[in-house]
């Protein structure tokens, strides 16, 4: 079930909030609305005296803000959004309209005027519906306002000065922010609190209900024009999926007209049907939500990487919950920008946000803290500093080959091992990933018949340690490039079985392979082209005694793959595209490769959600 009141009716529309006010953005996104923010350039300079009431002034300003954005967007892209929302908040006292103070003195004048008295806060809201008629913008406006009264305590001169010095009054109507420090000035509030903060959410939802959910004939609840429909009325959002559902608002764009299936009574027309829809409108295609999410997905990754890089999750694990301002101080960053990053992390489900501040979610504690047992912090930092850059040149790689894409940055090995720092970055990333999957790989088959194993390209030894833990008789050699084995010491766990793991430096294409009954290749083969894979397997095959084995773990697709996992693995070829001539191979292909190199009794087993493991036994030559 989607807990979705009327706001859900806007989910499949391109909605723009024509406001730079962070409070409005927060109120609406907390309510579940998805929208783009395009601050209005309309100058708030309408002649106040020409309006009969302060509310009329606020409404007109809100309307002009929204219309300016609609026109600008239409002019720029020749396509306006579906809905533009504008708002304007003003404070009135004794017939005077107070907007945002221009400087500290102005703030002082405003606050002194409000001191000890009751005043009104009006927010005017305009919901502008846009459509394109032969290249010209057509708009329809629904507007309303909400009034809330606020009473200030008797405040001392000193307190007012101190409050002004906090900087809070400067971007707020009337010179105060009731939601923050300004709350201390307020004795009582009558009416909608959020209206004071900058957006009357409740009234807005009622208006949406009138627009999008007009009463059906005989619907008693529908007769209460001023109520927000109960949640269950809107549980079924199937129309959001583009299934030809009803959307009676604003003249029935994409709606089903009067032809509801199953003989249900036709919906009443939207409020402006009569003048809008003389002719039947063309049916619009479903809103491409999935595509838009893909287009924006890189921002989500970047937010996660950045929060990891700035150690936000470490700070919160140790000291959370914390307010944005305290986190900013601890990570040595700007308060405003940190606030936005934290908001993004909360929206992505990486952080919890409560009145006490931000704190880690369980997943963040488990995987995004740098020194947790299951940390993927290293992978995030590596993706940010190396992989991100590589993907910037994906177009070149696709067109001209990986060499051009890599440009000055060199081959994979050169890039990874160009300094101790980058080697360590890479190793931390691999360590996190290997630890995550090591147990699944080690236990995909019963390997207890082997007493020696060699993990080729075993990096930090995460899998080797898991094998040693799982099989008490097993001695494991990690064979990897000298640059890697040199740094492996820092990754070793404490414990009894560590003496069962040793590191030998070498190149598995050229140097003699350590003798072992079982050779392990975990996430190695996809990095290499076919000729190299054959070369490596034939070297292993010639070292392996009959009865010995080879164990290959890869993110390899099986024939009966479920769609989601296949999609995840489907991105692997992109990495191969950038990193050289390697490629992903299916489990069946890996099995055939092993058979070709003299391994029999080849079996495949899943290792968790991510990997497939293929085990072959060396036949007598
Ligand atoms: C009374 C009060 C106001 N505000 C803010 O005051 C701005 C009003 O100015 P506006 O001109 O309506 O909006 P803006 O900030 O200039 O944005 P825009 O819509 O782009 O004009 C809005 O921000 C509101 O939240 C608070 O945050 N808390 C309060 O208690």
Residue pLDDT, tens place only, 254-266? 222 232 333 333 3
Instruction: Give the mean pLDDT of 250-275.
Output: 33
Could you tell me which of 270, 252, 266, 288 has the C-alpha nearest to residue 211? 270
Q: Which of 222-231, 295-304, 391-400 has the lowest mean pLDDT?
A: 222-231
Tokens, residue 306: 């950045």
The percent of residues above 90 in pLDDT, for the chain, comes to: 59
Handedness of CA 344, 288, 11, 84 (dihedral sign): positive
Distance 172 CA to ligand 1 centre (A): 5
Measured distance CA(479)–CA(509) in Å, rounded:
11
The answer to whether residues 607 and 547 touch, using CB atoms and an 8 Å cutoff, is: no
Helices (H) and strands (E) in the chain, counts: 26, 16
The region of weakest confidence among 29-33, 104-108, 510-514 is 29-33
Ligand 1 pocket, residues with Cβ under 6 angstroms: 19-21, 23, 39-40, 44, 65, 87-89, 91, 100, 121, 171-174, 176-179, 182, 196-198
Nearest CA to ligand 1 atom 16: 21
Q: Can you tell me the ipTM of this complex?
A: 0.98
Catalytic residue among 82, 88, 314, 483: 88
pLDDT in tens, 109-155: 999 999 999 999 999 999 999 998 888 899 999 999 999 999 999 99
Q: What angle do the packed helices 420-443 and 462-470 form, to 10 degrees?
A: 30
Per-position DSSP letters for 294-356, written without gaps between them: HHHHHHHHHHHHHHHHTTHHHHHHHH-SB-HHHHHHHHT--HHHHHHHHHHHHHTTSEEEETT
pLDDT of residue 513: 97
> What is the reported pLDDT for 293?
77
Alpha carbon distances (Å) from 369 to 97, 160, 171, 450, 593: 50, 42, 36, 36, 40
Token digits of residue 10: 């806007």
Please write the tens of the pLDDT for every residue from 332-371.
988 888 999 999 999 888 999 888 999 999 899 999 999 9
Q: What is the C-alpha to C-alpha distance for residues 30 and 96, in angstroms, rounded to an integer?
A: 32
Are 215 and 223 in contact, with CB atoms under 8 Å apart?
yes
Tokens encoding 614: 């293929």
Rounded to the nearest angstrom, the distance between the alpha carbon of 89 and the centre of ligand 1 is 6
Annotated catalytic, 88?
yes
If we measure between CA atoms, which residue out of 462, 448, 544, 534 comes closest to residue 503? 462
- DSSP string covering 429-456: HHHHHHHHHHHHHHHSS--TT-SEEEEE
Q: What is the mean pLDDT of residues 9-22?
A: 91
pLDDT at 532 over 90: yes
Q: If you average pLDDT over residues 198-207, what whole number do you get?
A: 95
Kindly give the distance from the C-alpha atom of residue 341 to the centroid of ligand 1, in angstroms, as a whole number: 22
**What mean pLDDT, rounded, does the chain reach?**
83
Displacement of CA 466 from its chain's centroid (Å): 33
Nearest alpha-carbon partner for 14 in 33, 29, 35? 35
Q: What pLDDT is stored for residue 291 in this prediction? A: 81
């Amino acid at each position: 079930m989607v807990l979705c009141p009327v706001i859900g009716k806007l989910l499949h529309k391109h909605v723009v909030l024509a406001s730079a006010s962070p409070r409005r953005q927060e109120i609406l996104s907390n309510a579940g609305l998805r929208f783009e923010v395009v601050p209005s350039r309309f100058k708030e300079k309408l002649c106040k005296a020409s309006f009969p009431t302060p509310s009329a002034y606020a409404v007109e300003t809100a309307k002009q803000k929204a219309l300016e954005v609609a026109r600008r967007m239409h002019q720029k892209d020749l396509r306006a959004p579906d809905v533009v929302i504008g708002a304007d908040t003003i404070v009135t006292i004794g017939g005077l309209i107070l907007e945002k103070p221009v400087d500290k003195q102005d703030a002082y004048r405003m606050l002194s005027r409000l001191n000890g008295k009751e005043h009104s806060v009006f927010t005017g809201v305009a919901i502008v519906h846009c459509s394109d008629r032969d290249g010209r913008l057509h708009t329809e406006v629904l507007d309303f306002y909400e009034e809330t009264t606020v009473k200030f305590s008797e405040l001392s001169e000193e307190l007012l000065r101190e409050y002004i010095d906090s900087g809070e009054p400067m971007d707020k109507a009337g010179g105060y922010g009731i939601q923050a420090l300004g709350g201390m000035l307020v004795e009582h509030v009558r009416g909608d609190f959020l209206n004071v903060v900058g957006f009357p959410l409740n009234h807005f939802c009622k208006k949406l209900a009138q627009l999008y959910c007009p009463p059906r004939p005989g619907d008693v609840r529908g007769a209460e024009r001023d109520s927000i429909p109960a949640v269950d009325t809107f549980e079924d959002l199937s129309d959001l999926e583009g299934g030809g559902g009803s959307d009676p608002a604003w003249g029935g764009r994409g709606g089903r007209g009067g032809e509801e299936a199953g003989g249900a009574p036709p919906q009443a027309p939207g409020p402006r049907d009569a003048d809008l829809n003389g002719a039947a409108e063309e049916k619009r295609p479903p809103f491409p939500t999935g595509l838009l999410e893909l287009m924006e997905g890189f921002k989500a990754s970047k937010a996660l990487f950045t929060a990891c890089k700035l150690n936000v999750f470490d700070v919160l694990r140790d000291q959370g919950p914390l307010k944005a301002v305290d986190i900013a101080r601890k990570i040595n960053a700007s308060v405003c920008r940190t606030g936005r990053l934290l908001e993004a992390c909360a929206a992505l489900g990486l952080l919890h946000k409560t009145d006490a501040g931000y704190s880690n979610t369980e997943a963040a504690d488990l995987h995004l803290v740098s020194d947790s047992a299951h940390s993927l912090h290293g992978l995030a930092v590596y993706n940010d500093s190396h992989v991100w850059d590589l993907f910037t040149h994906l177009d070149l790689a696709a067109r001209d080959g990986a060499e051009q894409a890599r440009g000055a940055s060199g081959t994979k090995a050169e890039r990874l091992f160009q300094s101790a720092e980058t080697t360590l970055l890479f190793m931390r990333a691999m360590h996190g990933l290997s630890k995550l999957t090591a147990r699944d790989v080690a236990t995909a088959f019963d390997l207890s018949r082997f007493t020696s194993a060699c993990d080729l390209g075993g990096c930090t030894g995460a899998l080797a340690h898991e094998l040693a833990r799982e099989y008490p008789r097993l001695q494991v050699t990690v064979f990897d490039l000298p640059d890697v084995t040199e740094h492996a010491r820092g990754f070793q766990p404490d414990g009894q079985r560590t003496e069962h793991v040793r590191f030998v430096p070498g190149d598995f294409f050229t140097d003699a392979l350590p003798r072992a009954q079982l050779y392990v290749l975990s996430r190695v083969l996809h990095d290499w082209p076919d000729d190299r894979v054959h070369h490596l397997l034939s070297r292993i095959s010639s070292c392996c005694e009959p009865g010995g084995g080879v164990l290959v773990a890869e993110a390899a697709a099986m024939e009966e793959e479920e769609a989601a996992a296949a999609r995840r693995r489907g991105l692997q070829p992109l990495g191969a595209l950038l990193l050289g001539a390697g490629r992903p191979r299916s489990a069946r292909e890996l099995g055939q490769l092993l058979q070709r190199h003299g391994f029999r009794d080849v079996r495949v087993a899943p290792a968790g959600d991510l990997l497939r493991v293929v085990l072959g036994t060396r036949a007598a030559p």
